[in-house]
Amino acid sequence: MRLFGKDLSFYDLLEGQAQSAYDAAREFHALSQDFGHLDQHLQKLDAIEHDADQLTHQLANKIDSTFVTPLDKEDLHTLSSRLDDITDAIEAAANRIGIYRLPAPRPDLEPLVAQLVLITQAIQEAVAALRHAYSRETMQPLFIRVHEIENDSDGRFRQALDELFNTPNPDPLMVIKWKEIYDRIEMAIDTCEDAANVVESVVVKYA
């Protein structure tokens, strides 16, 4: 069974969106270790986010202009929206570093963003698997991996906040700035889990 029949462009667009999220996470990870070239990393992230938006619009137009889609239109719109939200959240988190003119990364930034790379890679694999219409049982390890990464990230996020708020004589403004960045990273990771849940629902529905 093929979820989208013979029209492979549905797969191509969804996979492109998932690839954009993964590319954004990797660029953010590079940034987290290289504040010296912050502007260059942010420019690359902006380009990735722009390309991702284009894919989102292309898919939305294709869904709306197709009278009968082999997959429920609402499922397509939902998955596309979640994938776009991941890239948007990553780009927003990284841009806060530039907006706030933070001079150097905190030690816990890179490990958090590394989790983002892992979970977007898993999402990329899950979306790519739709092309092959694998069963839920076959894809279950991927879904489990996503949930495990999300749970691990929750622990790292709480630890980062604990260290941020309990540093002796903290600068209140810096605390506010870093907390917003951490919150946006957590949002991106949570959205990855949401996307995985949509993929799982689609696989079950069209098994």
User: Where exactly are the structural domains of the chain?
Assistant: 9-205
Average pLDDT across each block of 10 residues of the chain; the chain has 207 residues. List them in order. 62 95 98 96 97 95 75 86 97 96 95 97 94 81 95 95 91 95 97 95 82
pLDDT at residue 70, as a whole number: 60
pLDDT at residue 25, as a whole number: 98
pLDDT at residue 205, as a whole number: 83
In this structure, is the dihedral angle defined by the CA atoms of residues 146, 118, 112 and 39, taken in order, positive or negative?
negative
CATH H-level, domain 9-205: superfamily? Phosphate transport system protein phou homolog 2; domain 2 (1.20.58.220)
